[in-house]
Structure 1
Amino acid sequence: MARMILTGFVGTAPVENYTVVQTISSPLTVKMAGQTTLYNILFRNNYTMLGAVFAGAFAFQITWDLSTTRLWDNINKGRQWKDIKAKYVEGGEDEE
């Protein structure tokens, strides 16, 4: 029994003692759900990928900021100035 290997890529990889010969024109790939759609929408052009990266970073930054602020406020509830301000500040007189 001849042992076949995957060719056409950097290096070789045995495939269960069978030879699978692939070339660059027809690579052996495993399609994941939505892979083609994701590629066509986001990664086909450099400017759309760049926009997706910036939009993702912006959304992540806002989500991270809101989440950490909410966590900090919950941990320090009752100890922050915004929570105890009413006890120490009197009526609406302005000092000038």
Structure 2
Amino acid sequence: MALGTQVYNLLFRRTSTFALTIVVGVLFFERAFDQGANALYEHLNQGKLWKHIKHKYETDEK
């Protein structure tokens, strides 16, 4: 119960710190979700994306 009280007093007691906590939490969640979705997409499409197969089609013309 002491941890909950400390978190409440530190982050949620005042409206300004509550709003800041929400904004920072949203930014971290968005970043983590975006990276996770990209990693999943690349894993499911391994060998099908251009960056995985471009060496087969590009030539070294100078």
Which residue does the alignment assign to 2:9?
A: 40
Structure 1 unmatched ranges of 5 or more: 1-31
Structure 2 unmatched ranges of 5 or more: none
**Root-mean-square deviation (Å):** 1.3
More helix by share: 2
**Alpha-carbon deviations, 1:19-54, whole Å to 9, x = none?**
xxxxxxxxxxxxx35111011110111111111000
- Calculate the TM-score normalised by the size of structure 1: 0.60
More strand by share: 1
Q: 1:66 aligns with which of 20, 35, 41?
A: 35
- Calculate the TM-score normalised by the size of structure 2: 0.90
Q: Which structure has the larger Rg over C-alpha atoms?
A: 1
CA distance in structure 2 between the aligned counterparts of 1:89 and 1:49, rounded to whole angstroms: 53
Q: Percent identity?
A: 34
CA distance in structure 2 between the aligned counterparts of 1:40 and 1:76, rounded to whole angstroms: 46
